[in-house]
Structure 1
Amino acid sequence: MTVLTARRTRWGLAAAGGAAAAAWWFGDRAPYPYTQRGLLDIPLPYLTCAGLDEVLRPRPGERILEIGPGTGLQSLHVAPQLGPVGRLDVVDIQPEMLDHVTRRAEERGITTITATESDARTLPFAEETFDAVYLVTALGEIPEPERVLSEAARVLAPAGRLVVGEFFDRHWIPFGRLHRLADASGLHFEVRRGPTLAYLARFQPCRSTHPVPVPA
């Protein structure tokens, strides 16, 4: 192979790789299509279930809301930690995703997950219903994320907590922007785990004067 041919081959491979990346980037749709659900079961760096536990701190007896559960990667991990009297509500605009989570929960004998089809911008719950709300790689897929955060703040108990997980893709929300949106929604920042390209961040309603208890 001549030097010129080798260069042309490398350029061709680079162009093909760039085209594939562009197809992935611009073809990434929201909400995430159910037909591509297999990818949702792959843990992302810094957004692992162990990382979520560290930031969310689920406890027995709590009622927690997950917005955009996908295929239930986090749901099936969090729900058992709430114990027999706790409850995990999952909300999604796609009934196929909710049915998938429900089937997986039944297969594992988990009976404390309740699925509700709803737009996250108008949650069908009363004020101060939940001890915690979390979204993992879901906020950026929803139009008007500021409305989602305002609704999360509305349904949180005064000492509740909101956890947002974001990963770099077309719908990624940088931490700086999230911080500003949370401030505008009456949520103050507490802690972040991971860099801005892949992070979990916890917020608490500003009206609360009670810190989140730290387990011993």
Structure 2
Amino acid sequence: MDLATLLRWLGWGLLLALGVWLLFLLLPARLIRKVKPFPMPAGLARLLDNPLRRLVTPPERTVERMGLRPGMRTLEVGPGPGFWTLAAAGRVGPQGRVCAVEISPRLAGLVAQKARRRGFPWVHVVAADAQALPLAEGTFDHAFFIAVLGEVPDPVQALREVRRVLRPGGRVTIIEYLPDPDYSFPSTMLRRAEQAGLHLRQRRNSFLGYTLELET
């Protein structure tokens, strides 16, 4: 088999895999969650921390683009298995703080365990609902949601809560990926942000999705 034939078969294979993913995973998941939003099951969320995902969306590069700096206090809402959490902790360093709020106690425990193993005592994990954060006003410099707001029953309320716990002039990063069953279009997300009293600073697009940089 020559190279051209091999590439052609590979292309058809990728298209078939994409079609199966759309038909049997993405569309049913979107339909179900449109009726009743719910958090991703803990067992499935654990699978998201894998080498392939790290290759496609390197967490260190992602948190760097957020503008995290040493000493910053950042809030992560919906960390799941902690794919981004430890990268953020490495970025802000021991003079900073990372607070990860996860609704699943099982996943919250997993993230806390990973932080202890890495020797990151400045990572604090809280098992709580994003719609009612058990945190004081004006605590953080920055907050971020990565492929999570679609799982929250009232995303505007979650954004309002984040705005409440940010200091004046604090920033919010929202990242959405197209492969996510709960993907929200940029126009939808911007409308939610405006309703929560947040203002757009910058929008970045990529072949996988988009990033919104907002401020209070």
Normalization by structure 1: what TM-score? 0.79
Between 23-32 and 140-149, report the one with greater CA deviation. Answer: 23-32
Q: Aligned residue for 2:212?
A: 201
Q: How many residues align?
A: 191
Residue 16 of structure 1 deviates from its aligned partner by: 9.5
Q: Which has the higher helix share?
A: 2
Partner of residue 142 from structure 1, selected from 152, 164, 184: 152
> Given the superposition, is the C-alpha separation of residues 31 and 143 from structure 1 closer, same or farther in structure 2, using an over 3 Å criterion?
same
SS in 2 for 1:149: helix
Residue 71 of structure 1 deviates from its aligned partner by: 1.1
Alignment of 1:6-85 (within 5 A): 18=19, 21-25=22-26, 26-27=28-29, 30-36=38-44, 37-41=46-50, 42-43=53-54, 48-54=59-65, 56-85=66-95
Aligned counterparts of 2:41 and 2:16: Cα–Cα separation in 1: 27
Q: Aligned residue for 2:115?
A: 105
Unaligned stretches of 5+ residues in structure 2: 1-14
> Given the superposition, is the C-alpha separation of residues 50 and 135 from structure 1 closer, same or farther in structure 2, using an over 3 Å criterion?
same
Q: Aligned residue for 2:197?
A: 186
Alignment of 1:76-95 (within 5 A): 76-95=86-105
Cα distance per residue 1:189-214 (max 9 Å; x no partner): 01122248611211001xxxxxxxxx
Report the aligned-residue RMSD. 2.4
Counterpart residue type for residue 42 of structure 2: Y
Considering only CA atoms, is the larger Rg found in Structure 1 or Structure 2? 1
Normalization by structure 2: what TM-score? 0.79
Residue 131 of structure 1 deviates from its aligned partner by: 0.4
Q: Which runs of 4+ in 1 moved over 3 A?
A: 14-21, 27-30, 43-49
